[in-house]
């Protein structure tokens, strides 16, 4: 569709992927699953159906330079700089104003910058189905069919259509469940993981802000003339900094009716910690997964990331071992999701592999 715009949300921090990622080089900009970074993969996946001139990157000032360097095919004006981080509702509201300025009839496809997708062609086919179902819907969200009783994701309950159809009416959003509840959701078949990917007609999204987040909408109305005048002044930044800090899910999505869900037809993971690489990379016969040079002997279930040096494992199991920027991480897999505690203990970091002295 010529009126479709992709908004790629490139916020996030680097605690769970230390030492490869830091606050100055967060997860979207590191090559976790291949030679290219996650944000480069995200842009490459969508580019065949949405051209570079309609791909917008929502970014903070700290990461603008690296985003431009990694995505030279995108016009400079497509990097939408947030003066401060105010969560996804502020991010998408601001991007909605930018799309409105370009095309009042535009459609916004919102995509996180740091997810793993195993089949790009199937991803694009699913997005196309969403575009085909946007007419008559409040919006379209893409749900992931669970393959395990995951407690770290939010869920969406959807109603299976009586006849064969691609779009399922959304019943409600559900917060992260406990293990027993997640196992029930897995068995039922009409619960989906919330992927954080969705479609809205841009004018509809702005109307939803007006109805459900009126204070934010009032501030959008104050920013609109500044933006249309090409004004990136301190006044615009000051207004943006007062927007409510809340996710789009809590602020809008969970309050509205008329949403449709398209079940994803591709492998997906949000790669939340080093342990998630087991789901994104192929394993050897002993269950080890490795990115970079690795020699394993009598080792099993290890996750290895070697940026530049060979890592050898001998007689060990279920470890995460990472070598990057002159630093080495060794931890048990069951501690990988809690790596923020280690990063906090290490203290502030100035850049990749550098600790402030």
Q: How many CB atoms lie within 10 A of CB 292?
A: 15
- Cis ω before 19 (30° cut-off from 0): yes
The helix (H) or strand (E) run that includes residue 156 is: strand 155-158
- Report pLDDT for 238: 94
Task: Quickly name the fold that domain 4-269 has.
Answer: Spore Coat Polysaccharide Biosynthesis Protein SpsA; Chain A (3.90.550)
pLDDT tens by residue, 124-142: 999 999 999 999 999 999 9
**Is residue 355 predicted with pLDDT exceeding 70?**
no
Cβ atoms of 99 and 5 closer than 8 Å: yes
The residue among 229, 196, 235 whose CA lies nearest residue 97 is 229
Task: Collect all residues with Cβ–Cβ distance below 8 Å to 336 and sequence separation of at least 6.
Answer: 16, 273, 274, 275, 303, 320
Enumerate the domain spans of the chain.
Answer: 4-269, 274-338
Cβ atoms of 332 and 8 closer than 8 Å: no
- Report pLDDT for 252: 97
- Report pLDDT for 228: 79
Confidence of residue 163 (pLDDT cuts 50, 70, 90): confident
- Report pLDDT for 231: 57
Mean pLDDT across the chain: 93
Strand order in the sheet with 327-332: 289-291, 303-306, 319-324, 327-332
Cβ atoms of 130 and 142 closer than 8 Å: yes
Distances (CA, A) of 280 to 30, 243, 273, 276, 304: 15, 36, 12, 7, 13
Confidence of residue 165 (pLDDT cuts 50, 70, 90): confident
pLDDT tens by residue, 231-278: 567 889 999 999 999 999 999 999 999 999 999 989 999 999 999 999
């Amino acid at each position: 569709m010529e009126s479709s715009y992709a908004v790629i949300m490139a916020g996030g921090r680097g605690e769970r992927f230390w030492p490869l990622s830091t606050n100055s080089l967060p997860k979207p900009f590191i090559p976790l699953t291949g030679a290219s970074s996650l944000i480069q993969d995200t842009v490459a996946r969508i580019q065949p159906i949405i051209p570079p001139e309609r791909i917008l990157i929502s970014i903070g000032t700290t990461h603008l330079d690296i985003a431009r360097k990694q995505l030279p095919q995108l016009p400079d004006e497509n990097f939408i700089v947030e003066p401060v981080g105010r969560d996804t509702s502020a991010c998408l509201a601001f991007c909605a104003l930018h799309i409105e300025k370009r095309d009042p009839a535009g459609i916004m496809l919102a995509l996180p910058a740091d997810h793993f997708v195993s089949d790009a062609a199937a991803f694009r086919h699913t997005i196309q189905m969403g575009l085909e179902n946007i007419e008559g819907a409040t919006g379209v969200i893409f749900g992931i069919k669970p393959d395990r009783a995951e407690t770290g994701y939010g869920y969406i309950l959807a109603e299976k259509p009586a006849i064969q159809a691609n779009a399922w009416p959304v019943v409600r959003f559900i917060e992260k469940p406990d293990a027993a509840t997640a196992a029930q959701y897995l068995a039922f078949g009409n619960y989906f993981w919330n992927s954080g990917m969705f479609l809205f007609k841009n004018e509809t999204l702005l109307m939803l802000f007006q109805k459900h987040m009126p204070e934010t909408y009032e501030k959008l109305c104050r920013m609109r003339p500044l933006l249309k005048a090409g004004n990136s002044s301190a006044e615009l930044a000051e207004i943006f900094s007062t927007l409510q800090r809340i996710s789009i899910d809590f602020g809008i999505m969970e309050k509205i009716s008329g949403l449709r869900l398209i079940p994803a037809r591709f492998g997906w993971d949000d790669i939340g910690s080093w342990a998630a690489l087991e789901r994104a990379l192929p394993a050897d016969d002993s269950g080890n997964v490795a990115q970079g040079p690795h020699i394993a002997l009598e080792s099993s279930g290890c996750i290895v990331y070697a940026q530049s040096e060979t890592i050898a494992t001998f007689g060990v199991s279920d470890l995460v071992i990472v070598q990057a920027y002159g630093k080495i991480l060794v931890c048990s897999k069951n501690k990988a999701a809690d790596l923020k505690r280690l990063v906090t203990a290490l203290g502030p970091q100035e850049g990749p592999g550098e600790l402030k002295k």
